[in-house]
């Protein structure tokens, strides 16, 4: 397992990362999400040793590692966002080059296997400069898996792939059982591929954990007539129930609630509150299941 502890990074007066900590569980795909400028790329660059952190530490199996030390980078596979390849090499030569640099054993077999799995074995000996974007992306992806690194960092790995190719790559990633940090803007992809998710916003980790747990955090929508909004707001705040959205139209007050505790508990608390106010008339009560997209939007707005 990889663990980042209290990582901070400043660029001049601008604090890009503010003491971020999160774990990348072994054998799982962890999605790294965040709006543009949130600090995703800086985080990735610190893990890969491209940038030095101002503060903080990175642990691998509870042992402190220094990504700036080139030896520690044997454990890393990386596909940068713009997937820079050497156009004057063939995919075979490029993979051989990357494999040699990572001192990969059984390199020939690994190249053949990856080329077949990522279905570019028919173009293995053509110049990379002559390949389409989809092929190039798959070559870059294959390179990040060479040498069976302990952590594979993929920055927008599905860029330039058509829906069929995306499906196959998704399947490949899931079956690989590698420890992957997957950064993407396509939230539906993250939801489909990742088992774990880290959401970063303005240099801070907003949420991190199992994606299923996150998705179970639904919200509750309730419409109440004849209530006094300020009174209700105070009561809910005391019960630690967070109002995500609210709207008042005439006598009808609509609120959307989120809670850190399971929603059935929040619902129960809410019923208790309502029962103490006989004048309040509940018009509607429904549970709204959230997608990763809506969770992401709520957390990063």
Min. distance of Cβ 71 from another protein in angstroms? 6
CB nearer to another protein: pick between 105 and 188 = 105
CB nearer to another protein: pick between 94 and 253 = 94
Q: What does the binding site for another protein look like in residue numbers (CB under 8 A)?
A: 45, 48-50, 52, 68, 70-74, 76, 78, 80, 82, 84-86, 88-89, 96-98, 100-103
Q: Which residue has the tokens 């959307």?
A: 256
Asked if 67 and 47 count as a contact pair (C-beta separation under 8 A), the reply is yes
Min. distance of Cβ 102 from another protein in angstroms? 6
CA distance 75 to 73: 5
Min. distance of Cβ 137 from another protein in angstroms? 14
By the 10 Å C-beta count (0-12 exposed, 13-18 middle, 19+ buried), 3 is classed as: middle
Min. distance of Cβ 150 from another protein in angstroms? 12
CB nearer to another protein: pick between 111 and 255 = 111
By the 10 Å C-beta count (0-12 exposed, 13-18 middle, 19+ buried), 203 is classed as: buried
CB nearer to another protein: pick between 70 and 278 = 70
**Long-range CB contacts (< 8 A, 24+ apart) of 168-171?**
168/118, 168/119, 169/118, 169/138, 169/141
Min. distance of Cβ 53 from another protein in angstroms? 10
Q: Which residues on adjacent β-strands are paired with residue 264?
A: none
CB nearer to another protein: pick between 102 and 117 = 102
């Amino acid at each position: 397992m990889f663990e980042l502890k209290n990582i901070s990074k400043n660029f001049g007066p601008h604090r890009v990362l503010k003491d971020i900590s999160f774990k990348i569980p072994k054998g799982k795909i962890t999605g790294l999400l965040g709006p543009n400028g949130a600090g995703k790329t800086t985080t990735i660059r610190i893990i890969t040793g491209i940038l030095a952190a101002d503060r903080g530490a990175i642990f691998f199996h509870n042992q402190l590692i220094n990504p700036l030390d080139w030896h520690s980078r044997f454990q890393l596979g990386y596909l940068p966002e713009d997937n820079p390849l050497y156009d004057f090499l063939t995919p075979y030569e490029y993979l051989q080059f990357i494999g040699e640099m990572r001192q990969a054993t059984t390199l020939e077999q690994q190249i053949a296997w990856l080329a077949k799995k990522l279905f570019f074995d028919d173009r293995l000996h053509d110049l990379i400069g002559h390949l389409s974007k989809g092929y190039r992306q798959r070559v870059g992806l294959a390179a990040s898996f060479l040498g069976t690194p302990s952590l594979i960092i993929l920055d927008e790995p599905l860029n330039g792939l058509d829906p069929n190719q995306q499906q196959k790559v998704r399947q490949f990633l899931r079956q690989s059982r590698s420890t992957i940090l997957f950064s993407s803007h396509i939230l539906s992809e993250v939801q489909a591929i990742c088992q774990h998710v880290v959401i970063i916003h303005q240099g801070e980790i907003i949420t991190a954990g199992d994606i299923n747990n996150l998705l179970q955090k639904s919200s509750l929508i309730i419409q109440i007539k004849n209530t006094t909004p300020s009174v209700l707001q105070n009561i809910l705040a005391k019960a630690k129930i967070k109002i995500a959205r609210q709207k008042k139209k005439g006598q009808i007050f609509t609120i959307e609630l989120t809670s850190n505790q399971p929603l059935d508990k929040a619902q129960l608390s809410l019923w208790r509150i309502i029962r103490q106010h006989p004048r309040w008339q509940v018009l509607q009560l429904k549970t709204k299941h959230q997608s990763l997209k809506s969770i992401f939007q709520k957390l990063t707005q």
